[in-house]
Structure 1
């Protein structure tokens, strides 16, 4: 039988409020401002910290590891499923407004929300959490925080997530990031695994979270002086003051004031967030510039009687337009390798929906597209095929002869002087904690059969401007390294696995040790 909840401590709540009030008062009389940290500074400090599991890194969840609040994603799901009536919606909106105004405590708001889950099964909420992670929360994870988390992991530090949210909200992201130690608010259940609508004490908020983290550090035989803590909430001031490495991350007003008063550096991330009207307008302007550019290119192709000339005019201009409108800059090393030998098969590692714009802006001319055979009837693909060459590839069989036959449309275009750009991973890599996905053989067979080189294009931080499933590109700078062409003339079907592994290792080595500029 699950244990029953106890009454929340009023003294603990008062202590958290007092911490925030004192921080605001002290900051108001100080002329110092909190130093703005960048991720590189934090990574450097982590590398200098004592290695091993006794150094502990604790991450808050909502607002710290992810943008916004996971509860809002669950709330929106309930609205879409019409699981909330008008009265429920009014109560929820009133409670949120009162919480923002400070009229009720956050843990009271959480308890009220959990009350709406009364009668739901644990396994159903677990499945829902996984579904909402894949659909929404995965793209809310800050890539900057993933880089920091991975630096702690590389140093052998013990990593934990501590959140006032429930495990249904937090655990899918924790699994995604490979974090095993998770401390969350706990929902009471009956013997049948059905939620009672109550939370168990102590709740993971303010002093309750501080007590849980202190206990976790003791259990791991660590010291608070060697503990790192990343969080955004004003209620976290007490724990920030207790640890040796406080890192306020996207801090609220009182926590920012405490950082100012204590001289703590502050992290702020802008790579994720709401789609503002300006962002929508800028991206749409670039995206929809395709149509006038297509007409211009088509007209130029008609005038010159050269479809390739029209495509060479319009397509790089479109890629440039999208990047310019979105205020995305490309910081490229190895530019000379783009033109060292053409035609070629240009490889790029695939993270989001915008990688092709980056590569198209670099390769620019004499490009052909590859599409699955079933896309022949797609109206957009058919329109594009009138403007630029598209190789429709049938899925080949298991034999070398069948594979060669399937790739023949591609090799014919290469023989005409067209280059191909393709992602050897085959799809956008889902796991943010791995630098690269597994490679597929298709692009390597293309280059070998056509007798042209492979040109590896390594994209370091595409996720900074958009998550895996993002449909809007945010402003930022994307680092790209173009490696020297890899000759394929001496390759054979017998050795292609080894060559593919060698090229993949080039990507890993480049991502691990980024080259200097040209």
Structure 2
């Protein structure tokens, strides 16, 4: 597939892509609401797995971004707690483009300030947490355990918590790992290659190029305990450092 250049500077092409993103959401919102209403909410998985990837692909096309998925496992493990490296605004697009089965996203509370995200997020059962209030975030996650387990849903989380963190791979928070232990779920690491290079930090300006989602082997958590949790988290984070080809000392020195 060829990707358009338009002869525009990067920032103009990015503005066009952002406008298309919100236009598509406006157009699809009534369709999604109709599907959810007539199905009494049962269409949530169909929306996340089938419709969401369709919605973001045109935005990537306009941005000149080629998206690919590479499996490094014999099959996709599900249900599971999926984790990603989070350092770019592009992560939102690539997460939706994956179309993972029966997935629910743990997102920051502020996403709900956008009325479209609020309506669609709540109706499809996404999980919004207040990241700066750790106790409330943990309470919110615990309240969702019963629904997640009952419906055999998977959860997507970013162990770094935010894309604004020191270095390439930031310190990992315990939330995703505690959730995997509580649910008795494996952890499936997904490594986004190219997101940070095409769109650094909090900017919405993107370059054209290649983005690849590497889905790795599931990590069994049955022998994880509170006593060895820190060690297990370090092992998982070291995998991301290896995939980034950096040492831990190098990460701290890169801004």
TM-score where L is the length of structure 1: 0.41
Of 182, 189, 197, the residue aligned with 1:464 is 197
**Residue 123 (structure 1) aligns with:** none
**Residue 501 (structure 1) aligns with:** 234
1:313 maps to 2:16: no
- More relative contact order in 1 or in 2 (CA 8 Å, sep 6+)? 2
- Structure 2 spans left out of the alignment, 5+ residues: 1-8, 247-255
CA contact (8 A) 1:370 1:410 kept: no
CA distance in 2, matches of 1:403, 1:304: 30
**Residue 344 (structure 1) aligns with:** 80
Of 388, 405, 423, the residue aligned with 2:158 is 423
Distance verdict in 2 for CA 1:297–1:448, change over 3 Å: same
CA contact (8 A) 2:52 2:99 kept: no
Offset at 1:307?
Answer: 3.4
SS at match of 1:488: coil
Offset at 1:413?
Answer: 3.8
Offset at 1:376?
Answer: 6.8
**Residue 285 (structure 1) aligns with:** 20
CA contact (8 A) 1:343 1:414 kept: no
TM-score where L is the length of structure 2: 0.77
RMSD: 2.9
Of 145, 160, 178, the residue aligned with 1:411 is 145
**1:167-316 to 2 correspondence within 5 Å?**
275-276=11-12, 278-305=13-40, 306-308=42-44, 309-316=46-53
Distance verdict in 2 for CA 1:292–1:377, change over 3 Å: closer
**1:72-151 to 2 correspondence within 5 Å?**
none
CA contact (8 A) 1:287 1:322 kept: no
CA distance in 2, matches of 1:440, 1:392: 16
May I ask how many residue pairs the two structures share in their alignment?
233
Deviations 1:282-301 (A, max 9, x none): 44224421222232222233
Deviations 1:332-379 (A, max 9, x none): 322656x52212111111111111211221243422232456877874
CA distance in 2, matches of 1:403, 1:466: 28
CA contact (8 A) 2:26 2:116 kept: no
1:441 maps to 2:180: no
CA distance in 2, matches of 1:335, 1:356: 22
SS at match of 1:384: helix
CA distance in 1, matches of 2:243, 2:96: 21
SS at match of 1:414: helix
Q: Which has the larger radius of gyration?
A: 1
1:480 maps to 2:216: no
Distance verdict in 2 for CA 1:377–1:329, change over 3 Å: closer
